[in-house]
Amino acid sequence: MKNHLILISFLFITLYSCKVDNYDLPGETLRGRVVDAATGEPVLTDQGSEGTRVRMRELSWKEAAPENLDIFCMKEGIFQNTKVFRGYYNIRVDGAFIPLVRLNADGDTLADESQNVEIKGVTTVEFKVQPFLKLEWVGTPTVKDGKVTATVKVTRAVSPADFKAKIEPMGGYSDDMLNVTDVRLFVSEVPFVGYREWDNRYSTIIEYPGDAFEPLLGKPVTITTQGVIPAGRTVFIRAAARINYATENIKRHNYNEALRVDIP
């Protein structure tokens, strides 16, 4: 008899719990893109925490303090989350660009360009940002003896004066933050080549101490892969560069688009 009572109590608790926890699954969609405020072009990035992060905080859930829900942009500078609960959210993006939310050393808000939106059905947002650098291919990559040689041009996408005006009030500013620290040629057998997906047998990094890269801004920089890529392979390459400044404690790269290279 005692065992029967225990079983009945367990079943009652289980059924009651199922009843009160029977919320609809999240089914709303958030789509968006991150573009250069000056040109309207998408801000290309890496896929993962080293790239552009999208942080969502639900404001309509009152039972507890809002928690951060992070997703990451795809390499094309676009993002999508198809499993969102309907409600009001604060959304911000962080990447290789001037921070949209800027605080001073005392925690006072200097600027807040995040967005508060209602996510219902399919909701689309766009963030206009100021990238640190812009990378462009120059000419067409060449292949010789299993090595790929490519030329890239790196320019500033935000002026030093504007960078200083927005970063210095946050505290700890130094002109060294503007220095380009490295230029990379990532190689991978998958199209979303980048910091998360690259073959270290062939990828190349050129590091620049101090302000050594300054005279090279806006000029063609030629990079050749290392090692020997076997004949008959198809690889994808992307160039990346970064400055000596961290957003959310990560020194992120700016990128150009991926190119396919067939090795004869």
Q: pLDDT (tens digit, 9 = 90+) per residue, 176-204?
A: 999 999 999 999 999 989 888 899 999 99
User: Does 110 lie in the same domain as 182?
Assistant: no
Evaluate if residue 15 carries a pLDDT over 50.
no
The candidate with the shortest Cα–Cα distance to 139, out of 127, 125, 126, 149, is 149
CATH assignment of the domain containing 177: 2.60.40.2060
3 located within any domain: no
**Residue 9 belongs to some domain of the structure:** no
120 and 138 both lie in a single domain: no
pLDDT for 89 equals: 96
φ, ψ (nearest 5 deg) of residue 39? -115, -20
125 and 178 part of one domain:
no
More confident residue, 16 or 60: 60
| Whether residue 41 is found in the same domain as residue 95 | yes
- pTM (two decimals): 0.88
Whether residue 1 has pLDDT greater than 70: no
Residue 183's nearest CA partner among 211, 156, 204, 212 is 204
For residue 22, name the pLDDT band (cuts at 50, 70, 90). Answer: low
Q: 13 in helix, strand or coil?
A: helix
Which three-class secondary structure state does DSSP give residue 9?
helix
7-24 as b/e: b if 16+ CB within 10 A? eeeeeeeeeeeeeeeeee
Pair 154, 225 in one domain: yes
Structural domain including 71 reads 28-129
| pLDDT at 6 > cutoff 50 | no
3-state secondary structure of 175: helix
Look at 7-16, 75-84, 147-156, 166-175 and tell me which has the smallest mean pLDDT. 7-16
Beta bridge partners of 223: 150
For the chain, percent of residues with pLDDT exceeding 90: 82
pLDDT of 4 reads 44
Domain membership of residue 225 (yes or no) is: yes
Going by pLDDT thresholds of 50, 70 and 90, the confidence category of residue 25 is: confident
Q: How confident is the model at residue 208 (pLDDT cuts 50, 70, 90)?
A: very high
